[in-house]
Structure 1
Amino acid sequence: MSTTSAFQIFSSLRYDPALPAETEQPATAYPDPRESPYYLLQYHRDRLLNAAREFRWDQAIEFLQQDAGPLARLLDTHIPDTSKAWRLRIVVDCNGVCVVEVHPTAPMPPSNLLVPIPSLPHRLSSPDDIWRVYVDSASTVPSEFTTHKTTARDGYTAARQRTGIDSPAELAEVLMVNPEGEIMEGSITTPYFLARNSGSGQESEVGLTPRWITPPLASGGNAGTTRRYALKNGFCTEHRILASELVDGEPCWLSNGVRGFLQGVIVLKDHHK
């Protein structure tokens, strides 16, 4: 297990002043703190803490053991304009030093941050908002650097380059594949696929039988915040899925801590570039 300080752990999340009001809508099972403009704040703190424990960074563990309240107050000091949405990147090193990077982010309906459920339809402004989802042509070996979000991201960068994705602004994603041919995750998102017959009988944590499945952590992917949210709210269940099972043109969902839940389509036959 690596203990080097050559990398940091991080988590990216959205600040959105409209979020607290959206979580008060009926049928939105959203975790506390519900009143926070920081999207899934407690989940981001948990994710960072779990990573610090994995790497045995005692000072980082001590810093991250604070609850969401003090963390939110720290983040507040970095928000340039509380009337706008922002993308935050919380970076923590092995000494427990925290750096918060803040960048502008595109506006979007706050409802897109809520897990998709039948009684609260997800809105898209146009078909052009659907992401193109490709499959990496090479495999990635799972490690603590795929299980946890760190700045050691050469494998993810290489996968995007192989696919021809040049900018994070592109509505394009590449799915990482482990040496056994299993889908691990997306390069910047958690993917969700239509349940195959072999997985459609599983129940979620809330006793539902979801229509969607997401790769289990055993396949090597990241324990994402929106992934945790989707599982706890019955949107999906975990199930191993092979890259060879995917069908060109099939719908999928993607999610991450800045953009929420996004609709995508699997692209197998056409090259991106």
Structure 2
Amino acid sequence: MTSHDCGTPTPSFQIISSLRYDPELPRVTGSLPTDEYFPVPRHSPYYLLSYHRDRLINAAKHFQWDEALESLQKDLSVFEDFLNSAIENKVKSWRLRILVDRHGKGLVEVNPVGAMDCWNLLVPPLHKSVPDVIWNVYVDSQATIPSGFTTHKTTARDDYSAARARAGITSPADTSEVLLVNPDGQIMEGSITTPYFRRRVLPESHDTSQPTWVTPPLKCGGNAGTSRRYALEQSFCVEQLIMSAELVDGEDCWLSNGVRGFVKGVVILT
């Protein structure tokens, strides 16, 4: 990374990724028996650090931003140093929003974030705490057309803002989510989270060891989120098409993102 001042990128959007810095996270991940339960570097206070860099790299490749790609493909320690330079008080938890323009210039926005049990950052089977908040999960009333701006996270988020407004979600602090739906009626993702639903179709073998939870495939148009990748690699879930018409009022689900980890939700259709 070359600078904390992005200037005015051309075209007028940046690729982004948001993650949690939490000094308590290494205590939790360090207590896991092996690296197989959490991606390397396991003892970092940055949640899913390497996945966030990978996500930015994949976005730079998609948009053919060669200068950004060259900058992002440096050693992971360079990326971590870039984040470290933006945090003045490392004994507190922070929400970091990383923005990178087409020239590889980066900016890190640092904002306070509420305290939480870091066990909630692990996939639910590894949780050692009971979720104390259940999110209301709504379904968008209008379809969103998939594009590179839904597959990759960027500052061009008008579709997401519109979906949240239609659902009556007025603040990032709201414990509510809205599910985006593509023109074929398939669930894409949440406006700020990856959703997980109870499995609709079981394997033909009726193998009970298979994951109970499913998440929409990327071909539906949703974002390749970092916590989604973690959930898939940990076999918490598998990909499966979820039609909006299949959802049941009151059914439980999980939601995840790179700042909050995994939270419980309930689908509200009325």
TM-score (norm 1): 0.91
Is residue 261 of structure 2 the alignment partner of residue 255 of structure 1?
no
Which residue is 2:27 aligned to? Answer: 21
Offset, 1:31: 0.3
Q: Unaligned stretches of 5+ in structure 2?
A: 1-8
| Distance in 1 between residues matched to 2:109 and 2:204, nearest whole Å | 41
Q: CA deviation at 1:124?
A: 3.4
Runs of 4+ residues over 3 Å off in structure 1: 198-203
Residues 151-202 of structure 1, C-alpha deviations (whole Å, 9 max, x = no match) = 0000000000001000010100000000000000000000000001356869
How many Å separate the matches in 2 of 1:115 and 1:103? Answer: 25
Matched, 1:218 2:226: no
| Residues 1:153 and 1:267: Cα distance change in structure 2 (over 3 Å) | same
Give the one of 157, 160, 167 matched to 2:164.
160
Report percent identity of matched pairs: 58
- For the pair 1:55 / 2:63, whether they are aligned, the reply is yes
Question: What's the RMSD between the two structures over aligned residues?
Answer: 1.7
SS of 1:73's partner is: helix
SS in 1 for 2:141: coil
Match of residue 187 from structure 1: 191
Contact 1:15 1:87 in 2 (8 A): yes
Deviates more, 1:106-115 or 1:64-73: 64-73
Match of 1:36 in 2: 44
1:37, 1:72 → 2: CA distance? 10
Kindly provide the amino acid, as one letter, of the partner of residue 232 in structure 1: E
CA contact (8 A) 2:131 2:264 kept: no
Distance of 1:196 and 1:66 partners within structure 2: 42
Residues 202-255 of structure 1 show CA distances to partners (whole Å, capped at 9, x for unaligned) of 98xxxx510000000000000000000000001000000000000000000000
- In 2: Cα distance, 1:176 partner to 1:157 partner: 11
Query: What letter matches 1:36 in structure 2?
Result: S
Counting only pairs closer than 5 Å after superposition, residues 78-89 of structure 1 correspond to structure 2 as: 78-89=86-97
Q: Residue 16 of structure 2 aligns to which amino acid in structure 1?
A: F
Aligned to 1:267: 268
Distance 2:257 2:157 in 1: 16
Q: How many residues align?
A: 259
CA–CA separation in structure 2 for the residues paired with 1:200 and 1:143: 33
- Partner SS, residue 116 of structure 2: coil
Structure 1 unaligned residues grouped into runs of 5+: none
Q: Distance in 2 between matches of 1:125 and 1:10?
A: 28
CA distance in 2 between partners of 1:7 and 1:254 (Å): 26
**Aligned-partner Cα distance in 2 for 1:229–1:201:** 26
Residues 199 and 256 of structure 1: is their aligned pair in 2 closer, same or farther, counting only changes over 3 Å? farther
Deviation for aligned residue 1:26:
3.4
C-alpha separation between the residues in 1 aligned to 2:159 and 2:18?
A: 18
